[in-house]
Structures are given as C-alpha cells and as structure tokens.
Amino acid sequence: MTNADDRILEFLRNEGNGELVANPAVIAVNIGFSPHTVRERVGPLRSCELIEYHDGSRGLYRITDTGRDYLDGRLDDDAIADLEAILDGH
C-alpha cells in the first residue's frame, strides 16, 4: 500500500460525515496528489476490491466493505499480504 492508496481510501470513507462517491480528479484535489497518481492507483485498488465503481460510465468510485475493514484494521495478516502482493505488482 502506498501513501496515496491510504489517502484515497480515507477520502472516500469520509469518516464521520458519510461516505463519498468521486472521480479521480476530485479525489486528487482533496488529498494533495496529482490526478495522474490517483488514476494510476484506482485500478489496483479496484483489483483488490478496496474500492469499486459507483458509476463506471462516469468514472465514479466508492469504498467497499473490504476497504473499510482495511482502514479499521480488521483484515488479518494473510489478507493484508495478499493485498500488498497485488498492489505492489502494479
């Protein structure tokens, strides 16, 4: 997991204020990474089922249950190792 990955997940969860649905450009503006970086990371995050399309035709993403579990520390070591193997491969 990269710092950008964590920030994307945290932004979409929007803890305490209701989860967000957003495209990579909106995410980028709000987390301080370039749109290019965010676009590069949403594919791997989708592959790991940490985020999913809310509306694929408009490029809108939302966090998944797995993404929330990751942020809350509810994934076991094996699950985290599997996620990192996928994310490091991208």
Q: pLDDT (tens digit, 0 to 9) for every residue of the chain, 90 residues total?
A: 899 999 999 999 999 899 999 999 999 999 999 999 999 999 999 999 999 999 988 999 999 999 999 999 999 999 999 999 988 876
What is the helix (H) or strand (E) element at residue 60, kind and residue range?
strand 60-63
Classify 14 as helix, strand or coil.
coil
Q: Residue 68 is which amino acid?
A: R
First to last CA, the chain: 11
Reported as a single tens digit per residue, the pLDDT across 33-57 is 999 999 999 999 999 999 999 998 8
pLDDT at res. 57: 87
Task: List the domains of the chain with CATH numbers.
Answer: 3-88 (1.10.10.10)
Burial (CB count <10 Å: 0-12, 13-18, 19+), residue 63: buried
